[in-house]
Amino acid sequence: MSSFSFFRMLKKRKELIPIIGIMSFASIGGISAMIYALISKSDVIINKTGNPEPWENIDPTKSQKLLTFTQQWKPVEEVQIIKQLTK
């Protein structure tokens, strides 16, 4: 189906224009959300061989959620002891 016949079909069936617009908007939104998660989220891993535990490098003072109320972070003493023993 060439683009010329596609536009000819849209001229005949104008009711398809909103559906195509909504589907295009949803597709672009989904793709942009996926790219945003790949770039900015620490729990999304593409290359496991480079850094198998990327969550170890997260800044605990920086919020990882979109909206956070009264976030307080304190290091867990037991986890810090285990980290020191395993290094």
Domain count, the chain: 1
Q: Tokens representing 58?
A: 């997260």
Q: Give the per-residue pLDDT at 68.
A: 67
CB under 8 Å, gap of 24 or more: what pairs does 51-58 form? Answer: none
Confidence class of residue 80 from pLDDT cuts 50, 70 and 90? Answer: confident
16, 24 contact by CB (below 8 A): no
At residue 16, what is the residue type? L
pLDDT (tens digit, 9 = 90+) per residue, 63-79?
A: 666 666 766 777 788 88
What domain range is 54 assigned to?
3-86
Residues above pLDDT 70, as percent of the chain: 78
